[in-house]
Amino acid sequence: MSIKFTVNGIPYEVQSANYAPDITLNTFLREHLHLTATKYMCLEGGCGSCICVIRRRHPITNEINSRAANSCLTLLNSCNDVDIVTDEGLGNKSSGYHPIQKRLAKLNGTQCGYCSPGFVMNMYGLLEAQAGKVTMSEVEDAFGGNICRCTGYRPILDAMKSFAVDSNIEVPAECLDIEDSFELLCPRTGQCCSGSCSRLSLPAQNNSHWHWPKTLGELFQALAQVPTGEDYILVAGNTAHGVYRRPRSVRHFIDVNMVPDLKQHSIDTDEMLLGANLTLTDAMQIFRQAQQRNGFEYCAQLWQHFNLIANVPVRNNGTLAGNISMKKKHPEFSSDVFITFEALDVQVLVYENASHQRVMSLLDYLQDTTSKLVIGAFVLRSYPKQKYLFNSYKILSRAQNVHAYVNAGFLIEWQNSQHRIVASARLCFGNIRPGYVHAQIVEQLLEGRDLYDNATVSQVFEQLLTSLQPVEMQAEASPEYRQKLACSLFYKFLLGSAPQELIHQSFRSGGKLLERPISSGSQTFETIPKKYPVSQAVEKLEGLIQCSGEAKYMNDLATTSNTVYCAFVTAKRVGATIEELDARAALQYKGVVAFFDLKDIPGDNNFNNTTLLTVPGEIEEIFCAGRIRYYDQPLGVIAAVDHDVAVYAATLVQVTYAKDQVKIYTSMSAILAEKEMEKDRLVACTSNCEEVSNPLLEPGDVLGRGILELEPQYHFTLEPQTTVVVPVEEGLQVWCATQWMDVTQASIARMLKIEANTVQLQVRRVGGAYGAKVTRGNQVACACALVAHKLNRPARFVQTIESMMECNGKRYACRSDYEFQAKANGFIRMLSNNFYEDAGCTLNESVVEFLTTPALKNVYNLTSLNFKIKGTAVITDAPSSTWCRAPGTAEAIAMTETALEHIAFVCKLDPADVRLVNLRPGNKMAKLLPRFLASTEYRKRREEINLFNSQNRWRKRGLGLALMEFPLNTSIALCYPSTVAIYHADGSVVISHGGIEIGQGLNTKVAQVAAFVLGVPLERVRVESSNTVNGANSFLTANSMASEMVGIAVRKACVKLNQRLEPVKRSLGAKASWQQVVEMAFTQSISLIATESFKRGDQSNYSIFGLSLSELELDILTGNHLIRRVDILEDAGESLSPSIDVGQVEGAFVMGLGYYLTEQLLYDRQTGRLLTNRTWNYHPPGAKDIPIDFRIELLQKSPNPVGFLRSKATGEPALCLAVGVLFAMQHAIQSARQDAGLPREWVRLGAPTTPETVVLSTGNVVEQFSL
């Protein structure tokens, strides 16, 4: 059978048998239609980069529903009779851009740009679904499934909220026209699409078993064709694949989207019927209608709870039955649909065949073993609010798009109208242990009891503790936390429902969950008109093409028919050696072309061929040659005809191991606990302890010690590690997502034992880097080049998110054991810091001496007389750690700031005063800090927070101050060649340089510089792709310095050109136009091309100063928080491009929030396997995790006397300021501990400080749960 659909108005007819049965819409769009605005990343609906809009006809109403969808989850064969819209269909440079695209670009909502099309399409789907009538609140709610690692979300949300009916966002004049916002453009012609283009003829691939029933009878006919014992799935949105990967054994797919019986719904007086195949979004719309009717008021809470399930595109396509079916197949799944429906005693209508149905409870359905049951509908009873009380809860590790730590639903039936005596109760909890749902002991206890009597409450929690016995679950929060949290939810239920006069006033705020208002921000900076376009707040050069999807990334390059795709074969036994690799089964799998391993490498088996920044310069093997050093270390590479085949075939290679390691250390904490036995893993790097002696103890001195532990952080680039290699006449043409072309080129050449000049790289842009692509991407690049070289055909290697997280290095974990001696006023007499940093399996990119130690003094008067340091690198059984945004410096500043905060705590002083007394004489911070304290009203707000805390037992607020001196070491930079060319035909200018545009705005800044120096309009300047010809031998783009270094080179080149042009200008006179000058120079054979380079010594080292003040509010019962306000003042000198620099500050700070609050890497202690290896269980901040009030100021009238054009770098430093949220946490937690009657003790908080950390630190015990 063929399926028919349109894409951007163009009709297609596809023979389903010609494609793999599980081919996704994402694959079809990208690889067959070459619509690459729809990105490839997580393949589980967790990042949002693949979002498109699907318009589908409702089988009952015949109306067209338009909704955003994750193309990575949507199966192509489920797209019959739909209209698909991608970013290419909205607007482009030929015919003009869509208002969403324009506003996102104009409001600086794009940096690396990889996520931008997904944000555009999600917003387009929201507007179209609601006919353009959305509120700012709805907009902020809508982006839980879109991750941006660059911007910090604020400018993105501003752009999107500008479309809201209640918007207060100022919009540039050129973006005001929103007419024809939903008119499609043909990606072929760039004009309004009529849908008349011819259909594409598509090649056959393999057979499939798909069915598209239109009735219940046809559905059961399809089921009858599935042989007994064979796997099948009923397909609607396929969103379950984002949680549990579908078994490859499934060959029978039955699309149920067009079966009317499964889409029905009705609301009667006593019950509401919801068709099984209603999407969660459908259900939520019905809840909105039903909540207005007597007996269904509880649907308002169902809407709130469902709004926390997954994200908008997933809810748009995932169905009620799909969710419950996932719970049936995977009992451990913490289904929110199940827990709320079970609390409400929802009944399930199931079909055994088309003419026979029965009704059963949810629990009975989960245990029913009848084969080929089909859920027809869910029946919800009427619960009049006069007689019933319902509420439900879901507690998450971040604001949205996370499965629950614990979820719960509570239904109380009252005996009488006083709403005190319980007739019956249903108390349901999720994620406690397999099989546990009802707290039956408590349900029975409550019958006939006064729910709000303290004696009853006491007995309830005593019994609840007995009933709730969570078990240890992999990659989940601890049983202790989950038990406390479950109890806290029922306590919150009581506080929120009891008559207020029965509740102690300070307890009342504990009855509600934290409510986040609409966020906003302010940006303050100066511009200098005489330097324009330098210092002007201009739009990013690539902004519009990124927002329209026209900007190309490595995996967007067009494929040829003979391209092979690559995937690593990896090791699963740490410490063992490889005895044999048997690839026969893989090579026999259809579509597999080849397998290569160590023996196939003709040259160096080393992907990190540099000693410039890697001391001692250990070999990092492309494929393991001896002892396996970490779980998932690559052993070889599979080449296949498509990506999915390569990834699967890699698992078929049989590995025989020998000589296992007895004990595995995936983190340094276990090594430090046994350091006397594991001395070989400790490598001393720096120490001055022998040179510094402890002072004598004087009267009034205070002593203290503490430990700060900072766990590693994954970079989470939206663009995967990607390389494309094409054999050419005399070597290889390489497109690689790298921050350091020179080392990538050298590593490939030495591996293949060929000349470097036969390996040519080209890099247009990189979709996020943060250090992950300095050297770590070279392993992929080398493997891909080996395949292309051996097969003499194009090769493409795009790592999956699991592969990246498992075998790529991450931020250095850090532990500080510190001690201090201070005067009563907080002045430091001695500070000792014995710190350790987790190097992973090599010391190659150690930060201990190079980056951490120089930053430890921060802004304080720490000298050789009062500051002891000892730094040690620790070797662990994990991938070699690498640079990650503000590497070493972030840890150093966190260590010292924590010590200062601890001193203030011990001395019982205001933390700001302790910082003031310890500032280094003459340091710039001595002027900045008093000003900052005044402008943020620090003293007043601290008093107000202390008052709030005294009045609220279960809600607490905190204020955290952080100071930063970020030392920028430019002396490591060697060269950044740059070429500037002027075209005589029209005077336009092009730049080619050796830096890499990674979202930091490098291209925009250097274009501004060229325009300023040459005196031409910015729009006349273009920046070309970076390559290893014009950019030969260029140094890495990292350390926040490349924009300045390349800018220096570009300025040199422009000055040289100006010198050449000066005689021509004099001869033509002052009235001569730029075009006339350039044309005359050309006729005089004056070269209009100049190449220059940054060289060591062109730029002096300098420091970047910054301050942050973070205010947050904690829910002590759950551990959740809201960041109420953040103020940041950063010294950027005279900013080259203020809008870009503000974006860098915001993005770095929010990445720091993830580091300190939400991002947790967990390993299997027995095997060394990373358990949190995908978006499902690793959680960078989302759009609703950022500060509610986000205020950024770039310090004005503060030129950098040694900086390029008096500017300073901004890419990394602000991440260091995010540590202030830990001090705000400490402030809030200490108040809770005081209320709990705990002794006054410093609480160890580190990275990440999760809700679990908060609850277990505050002294919560159920004995304190009273009304």
For the beta sheet containing 975-982, the strands, ordered from the edge strand earlier in sequence to the opposite edge, are 1021-1023, 989-993, 975-982, 1089-1095
Same domain for 235 and 340? no
Q: Which residue among 511, 545, 573 closes a domain?
A: 511
Query: Is the residue at 966 inside a domain?
Result: no
Kindly list the catalytic residues. 1212
Residue 271: exposed, middle, or buried by beta-carbon count in 10 A (0-12, 13-18, 19+)?
Answer: middle
Residues in Cβ contact with 989 at an 8 Å cutoff, skipping those fewer than 6 apart: 980, 981, 982, 983, 1010, 1011, 1014, 1016, 1020, 1021, 1022
Q: What is the mean pLDDT of the chain?
A: 95
Q: Give the CA distances from residue 202 to residues 15, 17, 18, in Å, rounded to whole numbers and listed in that order.
A: 8, 11, 8
Q: Which residues of 807-821 are buried (b: 16+ CB within 10 A; e: fewer)?
A: bbbbbbbbbbbbbbb
Confidence of residue 613 (pLDDT cuts 50, 70, 90): low
Q: Residue 189 pLDDT > 50, yes or no?
A: no
Cis, peptide link before residue 1199, omega less than 30° from 0: no
Q: Give me the number of domains the chain comprises.
A: 5
With contact defined as beta carbons under 8 Å apart, do 644 and 585 qualify? no
3-state SS class at 1111: strand
More confident residue, 261 or 679: 261
- Residue 201: the pLDDT is 35
**CATH code at position 719:** 3.90.1170.50
Which residue range forms the structural domain that includes residue 307? Answer: 264-511
- Residue 193: the pLDDT is 45
State how far the Cα of 1180 lies from the Cα of 1160, in Å rounded to an integer.
9
pLDDT in tens, 782-827: 999 999 999 999 999 999 999 999 999 999 999 999 999 999 999 9
- Residue 204: the pLDDT is 36
Q: Does 885 show up as a binding residue in the annotation?
A: yes
Same domain for 468 and 449? yes
State how far the Cα of 241 lies from the Cα of 45, in Å rounded to an integer.
9
pLDDT in tens, 714-772: 999 999 999 999 999 989 999 999 999 999 999 999 999 999 999 999 999 999 999 99
Same domain for 355 and 406? yes
State how far the Cα of 905 lies from the Cα of 1247, in Å rounded to an integer.
20
**CATH code at position 1073:** 3.30.365.10
State how far the Cα of 913 lies from the Cα of 827, in Å rounded to an integer.
10
User: 219 — phi, psi (to 5°)?
Assistant: -60, -45
Query: Is the residue at 188 inside a domain?
Result: no
Same domain for 227 and 280? no
Q: Does 150 show up as a binding residue in the annotation?
A: yes
Give 16's DSSP letter.
G
Residues in Cβ contact with 546 at an 8 Å cutoff, skipping those fewer than 6 apart: 105, 110, 113, 116, 117, 540
**CATH code at position 284:** 3.30.390.50
Residues for the chain: how many in total?
Answer: 1267
Helix (H) / strand (E) containing 400:
none
**H helices, E strands: number in the chain:** 33, 40
- Residue 678: the pLDDT is 81
Query: Is the residue at 1104 inside a domain?
Result: no
> What is the torsional sign of CA 128, 134, 139, 144?
negative
Same domain for 218 and 324? no
Residue type, 1242: W
3-state SS class at 457: helix
Q: Residue 184 pLDDT > 60, yes or no?
A: no
Residues in Cβ contact with 1031 at an 8 Å cutoff, skipping those fewer than 6 apart: 741, 976, 977, 992, 993, 994, 995
**CATH code at position 164:** 1.10.150.120
pLDDT in tens, 409-458: 999 999 988 889 999 999 999 999 999 999 999 999 999 999 999 999 99
3-state SS class at 563: coil
Same domain for 491 and 437? yes
Q: Which residue among 1042, 1069, 1095 closes a domain?
A: 1095
Q: Residue 203 pLDDT > 80, yes or no?
A: no
User: 888 — phi, psi (to 5°)?
Assistant: 75, -50
Rounded to 10 degrees, what is the CA torsion of 87, 93, 96, 102?
60
Query: Is the residue at 880 inside a domain?
Result: no
Confidence of residue 196 (pLDDT cuts 50, 70, 90): very low
Q: Does 112 show up as a binding residue in the annotation?
A: yes
Query: Is the residue at 561 inside a domain?
Result: yes
**pLDDT average, residue stretch 1038-1065:** 96
For the beta sheet containing 2-7, the strands, ordered from the edge strand earlier in sequence to the opposite edge, are 10-15, 2-7, 82-85, 51-57, 64-70
State how far the Cα of 583 lies from the Cα of 806, in Å rounded to an integer.
22
Q: Does 739 show up as a binding residue in the annotation?
A: yes
Residue 497: exposed, middle, or buried by beta-carbon count in 10 A (0-12, 13-18, 19+)?
Answer: middle
Same domain for 57 and 116? no
- Residue 873: the pLDDT is 96
Residues in Cβ contact with 1108 at an 8 Å cutoff, skipping those fewer than 6 apart: 961, 962, 964, 1126, 1127, 1128, 1129, 1149, 1214, 1217, 1218, 1220
Q: Which residue among 211, 233, 259 closes a domain?
A: 259
**CATH code at position 64:** 3.10.20.30
Q: Does 193 show up as a binding residue in the annotation?
A: no
- Residue 616: the pLDDT is 60
Q: Give the CA distances from residue 1216 to residues 933, 966, 1149, in Å, rounded to whole numbers and listed in that order.
A: 19, 8, 7
Query: Is the residue at 1106 inside a domain?
Result: no
Q: Residue 610 pLDDT > 90, yes or no?
A: no
- Residue 452 structure tokens: 């709000």
Considering only CA atoms, which of 304, 266, 277, 281 is closest in space to residue 380?
Answer: 266
- Residue 635 structure tokens: 């052993």
- Residue 177: the pLDDT is 62
Same domain for 254 and 288? no
- Residue 529: the pLDDT is 97
**pLDDT average, residue stretch 1220-1226:** 99
Query: Is the residue at 928 inside a domain?
Result: no
pLDDT in tens, 218-271: 999 999 999 988 899 999 999 999 999 988 889 899 999 999 999 999 999 999
Distance of CA 540 to the CA centre of its chain: 22
3-state SS class at 782: helix
Confidence of residue 691 (pLDDT cuts 50, 70, 90): confident
Give 421's DSSP letter.
B
- Determine the longest span between alpha carbons in the chain, in angstroms: 103
pLDDT in tens, 16-70: 778 888 999 999 999 999 999 999 999 999 999 999 999 999 999 999 999 999 9
Query: Lowest mean pLDDT: which of 186-195, 671-680, 1041-1050, 1122-1131?
Result: 186-195
Q: Does 784 show up as a binding residue in the annotation?
A: no
Residue 522's DSSP bridge partners are: 1191
The percent of residues in the chain predicted with pLDDT above 90, rounded, is: 90
Alpha carbon distance, N-terminus to C-terminus of the chain:
65
Same domain for 296 and 423? yes
Q: Does 42 show up as a binding residue in the annotation?
A: yes
pLDDT in tens, 1240-1259: 999 999 999 999 999 999 99
3-state SS class at 1189: strand
Same domain for 485 and 615? no
3-state SS class at 791: helix
CB atoms within 10 A of CB 898: 26
Query: Lowest mean pLDDT: which of 464-468, 540-544, 686-690, 885-889?
Result: 686-690
Considering only CA atoms, which of 885, 902, 1081 is closest in space to residue 981?
Answer: 1081
With contact defined as beta carbons under 8 Å apart, do 1042 and 995 qualify? yes
- Residue 200: the pLDDT is 38
State how far the Cα of 755 lies from the Cα of 766, in Å rounded to an integer.
26
Helix crossing, 741-752 with 778-791: angle to 10°? 40
Give 530's DSSP letter.
G
With contact defined as beta carbons under 8 Å apart, do 1211 and 1145 qualify? no
Helix (H) / strand (E) containing 580:
strand 577-582
Q: Does 161 show up as a binding residue in the annotation?
A: no
Same domain for 576 and 593? yes
Q: Give the CA distances from residue 203 to residues 14, 18, 20, 198, in Å, rounded to whole numbers and listed in that order.
A: 9, 7, 12, 16
- Residue 187: the pLDDT is 44
pLDDT in tens, 1060-1083: 999 999 999 999 999 999 999 999
Query: Is the residue at 28 inside a domain?
Result: yes
State how far the Cα of 836 lies from the Cα of 1017, in Å rounded to an integer.
51
Same domain for 247 and 314? no
Q: Does 47 show up as a binding residue in the annotation?
A: yes
C-beta pairs of 935-939 under 8 Å, 24+ apart in sequence: 935/1127, 935/1129, 936/1109, 936/1127, 938/912, 938/1109
